[in-house]
Amino acid sequence: MFKEIKRKITMFNTLILVIFMFMFIFLLGFLVNWSLTLSGEMYLTTVAKEIISNNGQTTAQPINSGDSVHDKFGYQFIMWDSSHVVKSMKVEDRNLIMLGYELAIEKKDAPQFNLLISDNVEYRVYTLPYSNNSNDYVLQVFQQISTERSIIAYVISFLFLIGLGSIAVLIPISYFLAGKSLQPIKDTFEDQKKFIANASHELRTPLTVIQTNVEVLKLKEDEQIKDNMKWLNNIASEGETMAKLISELLLLAQAENQRLAIDKEVFDISSMCQQMVELMTELANEKEIELSENISPGIQYRGDEERLKQAVRILVDNAIKYTPVGGKVQLCLVQGKRHLVIEVKDTGIGLTDEEKAKVFSRFYRVDDARNRETGGVGLGLNIADYIVKKHNGKIKIDSIPNKGSTFSIVLPKSNQKPDSKKNNIKGDTLK
C-alpha cells in the first residue's frame, strides 16, 4: 500500500515538475523571441532614419546602431520612387528585389514590419513610405533573421536538455523523499496494527478463560455453588483483568485523540502519597511484603491529583507485583530545590539495562508467563509515563537484576505556576 502511495507521490511531483519546466521553457523562449524582435525592429528603424538622412546613399562605413547583435547581422535596403523604380539599393540577395517590389506596390501609408522568406532565409523587413522635396518614396530595410531564429531554437533545446536531465535526477530523489516523508505515517500505521493485534490478543485470553470456566460450571449444574468457588473465582479474576485492560485501552484512546484532560489544581501531594501507602498496604500484606514510607509532610503541588495518583499507584502496584514474598517496598517523597521526587523502591526481581529501555513501550512485559499470573498486560508504565510527561516531568529507573529497582517520578516545581486550569497539551501522545 505504501509503495503504491510512494509511486503516486513521485508521479505527481514529476508531473508538476514537467508542467513547470514546460511553462518556464515556453516563457523563456517567448521572452527571448520578444526581446530579439523588439531590438531587431528598433535596429531597422534606426538604420532607415540613417539611410533617409544620407538621401539613399550607402555609406562606406556600416551603420552602427549601438546594437551589437543586429550590427553583426548587417542590413540590406531598397529605396523605391513613386513609379516603383529602384532609386538606390544595397542588396546581396537578388530575390529580395522581387519580394520587396511586391510589398512596395501594396501602397501602404503607414510604416510596417513584415517577415519574408527568400531561398530558405528568413528576413525581417521594415517598409517606410516617406516624402522628400514633394517626391514620394518607399524605403525597405531588410535584415536576415535566420541566425536570430537559431539562437532561440538553441536556447530552447538547451533548456529542454537541462530540464530532461533534471527530471532524470529528480525522479529518484523525489521517490526517496516521498519514502522519507511517509515513514512517520508508516510507523504510526504499523504501531496501530500492532496495538490492535495486542489489544485483541489480551482481551481474547481472559475471555477464553471465562468461557472455559463457564463450560466447566455447566457440567456441574447439580453441585452447590460453594463447591465450585474455584471456577467462579477464576471468572471473577479474569473479569477484573478485562475491566482493567478496557479502562487502560480507553485511557490510551483518549490520549491518542488528545482528549485526555489534565486538570491542574494545587493539592497536598504528601497526603496523596500517604493515602496511596494506606491503600496498598492490604495488597502488600497479602504478599507478605513490608510496605513503608518516607514522605516529607505538607508539600503542595500544582497538578492533576487523580492522574498523578494513578501513576503512583501503577509504580507501587508494580513494585509489589515484581517483588518476591517477604521483600520490601518503600514510597518516598522528597522535595529538592527545583524538583519534587516520588520514589518507589523495591527489593524485587529488578531489570537489566536492555529491559529498562523497553518497559515504557506498550504491551511490553519482561516475562510474559509470569506477568499473566500477576494480571499485567504491559500498559501501566506507558500510561504512568504519559501522565508524568503531561506534568513536564519524567520517570527515571535505577535497577539491579535480582536486587531491586527504584522508579522515580521527577516533577519540576516550575510546573506550579498558576496558568489555566485545564492543561490538555497537544502533540504528546502515548507511544
Q: Which residues bind ligand ADP (CB under 6 A)?
A: 314, 318-319, 322, 346, 348-351, 359, 364-367, 371, 376-382, 405
Spatial distance between the Cα atoms of 322 and 405, rounded to a whole number of angstroms = 10
- Indicate the residue among 128 and 381 with the shorter CB distance to ligand ADP: 381
For the CB of residue 174, give the shortest distance to ligand ADP in the complex, in Å: 41
Q: State in angstroms the smallest separation of the CB of 13 from ligand ADP.
A: 42
| Smallest gap from residue 247 Cβ to ligand ADP (A) | 12
CB of 349 to ligand ADP, least distance (A): 5
Which residues face 76 on adjacent strands? 142
* C-beta nearest to ligand ADP: residue: 376
Measured from the CB atom, the residue of 305 and 346 that comes closer to ligand ADP is 346
3-state secondary structure of 260: coil
For residue 281, the number of C-alpha atoms closer than 13 Å in the C-beta half-sphere is: 8
Comparing CB distances to ligand ADP, the nearer of 76 and 382 is: 382
Grid-cell match 511553462, residue found: 23
What is the smallest separation between the CB atom of 235 and ligand ADP, expressed in angstroms?
21
Identify which of residues 148 and 343 has a Cβ nearer to ligand ADP in the complex. 343
Which residues, other chains included, contact 148 with Cβ-Cβ below 8 Å and sequence gap of 6+? 36, 40, 73
Min dist CB 14 to ligand ADP, Å, is 47
In contact, 294 and 344? CB cutoff 8 Å:
no
Q: What are phi and psi of 321, to 5 degrees?
A: -65, -40
CB nearer ligand ADP, residue 104 or residue 381: 381
Q: Compute the least distance from the CB of residue 406 to ligand ADP, in Å.
A: 9
Helix runs in 287-379, H state only: 305-321, 353-358, 368-374
d(CA 179, CA 203) in angstroms, rounded, equals 35
CB closer to ligand ADP, 90 vs 313: 313
Alpha helices in 95-228 (DSSP H): 95-104, 146-219
Nearer to ligand ADP, 212 or 310 (CB): 310
* Cβ distance to ligand ADP smaller for residue 63 or 366: 366
Cα gap 426→431, rounded to integer Å = 14
Q: Residue 325 to residues 15, 97, 289: CA-CA distances in angstroms?
A: 69, 118, 6
Cα–Cα distance between 66 and 50 in angstroms, integer? Answer: 13
Q: Taking a C-beta distance cutoff of 8 angstroms, is the pair 159, 97 a contact?
A: no
Question: Least separation, in Å, of the C-beta of 210 and ligand ADP?
Answer: 19
Q: Where are the beta strands (DSSP E) in 3-144?
A: 76-81, 86-90, 112-118, 121-132, 135-144
